Amino acid sequence: MALHNPNKTEIQRPVGNLYIFSSIVIAVLLNGLPWEGVALMLRPDFVAMVLLYWCMHKPMRIGIGMAWAVGIFADVADASLFGQHALTYTLLAFGGVVLHRRLQMFDLRQQTTQVLGLFALTYTVYALMHWLIDGDVVWGYFLGCITSTLMWIPLSLLLQGLRQIRVGRDS
């Protein structure tokens, strides 16, 4: 039911900054789990997904600057070049912020196709940067783009659902 236009069936509840912040920290944590080999290839980029979700739903609070800052931390955590994740997350956040009105009109299934494009763009930019600097591309890396897209619906439902629970408890 929530799959079909959640905006009309449910009233948008307010979201606390703490909620947004903790969701991002948990996403960094999930990215940091000891993934190895094939699991690492298939690992969705949780940070990118959560950032995109908030850029779409709360573009006033989580925007391009925030995405860039989170990207810098991701660079430190992954020991990649300074700015590599920051650049991709900036592009992703820009896509999310610019398209947020259109994306909110769609239901979750339609959103998925749009989100695939955004993730594909960010993954391509990341791989391109790597190719420019080190001169090789690992094609398995792009699998993460597909799993990220597949995880979009569960993630959106989860973040939406947790919001309702929190607010319900408060009132």
Partner 1 sequence: MIDNTHSFRFFQRGPSPVVRLVFFVTLSLLLMFVDARYRYLESARSTLSVLVSPIQSLASLPGRIWRDVGDYLTLQSSLKNSNHALQTQHVVDAGQLARLQALELENKQLRDLVALPIRDTYTTTLAEIIYSERDLFKRKVVINKGADAALQAGQVVMDDNGIVGQITRVYPWLSEVTLITEKDHVVPVQVLRNGLRTIIFGAGDTSQLALRYMPISSDIQEQDVLVTSGIDGTYPAGIPVAKVTKIERDAAYPFARITCLPLGGVDRHKHLLILSAQAKLPELPPSEVSVEDARNAKAKRKK
In the structure encoding, which two tokens stand for residue 74, read together?
């991701």
Among 140, 154, 158, 164, indicate the residue that binds partner 1 (CB under 8 A).
140
Report if residue 25 touches partner 1, rule: CB under 8 A. yes
Rounded to the nearest whole angstrom, what is the least distance from the CB of residue 25 to partner 1 in the complex?
7
Q: Which residues of 92-116 are buried (b: 16+ CB within 10 A; e: fewer)?
A: bbbbbbebbeebeebebeebbebbb
47-66 residues near partner 1, rule: CB under 8 A = 60, 63-65
Spatial CA neighbour of 52 closest among 71, 29, 77, 30: 71
**Alpha carbon distance 121, 88 (integer Å):** 8
Nearer of residues 58 and 130 to partner 1, judged by Cβ: 130
CA-to-CA separations, 74 to 67, 77, 134, in angstroms, rounded: 10, 5, 19
Nearer of residues 87 and 167 to partner 1, judged by Cβ: 87
Spatial CA neighbour of 49 closest among 140, 141, 137, 146: 146
Rounded to the nearest whole angstrom, what is the least distance from the CB of residue 78 to partner 1 in the complex?
5
Rounded to the nearest whole angstrom, what is the least distance from the CB of residue 113 to partner 1 in the complex?
20
Report if residue 19 touches partner 1, rule: CB under 8 A. no
Q: Which positions lie near partner 1, rule CB under 8 A?
A: 25, 28-34, 36-37, 40-41, 60, 63-65, 68, 71-73, 76-84, 86-87, 90-91, 94, 97-98, 101, 129-130, 133-134, 136, 138, 140-141
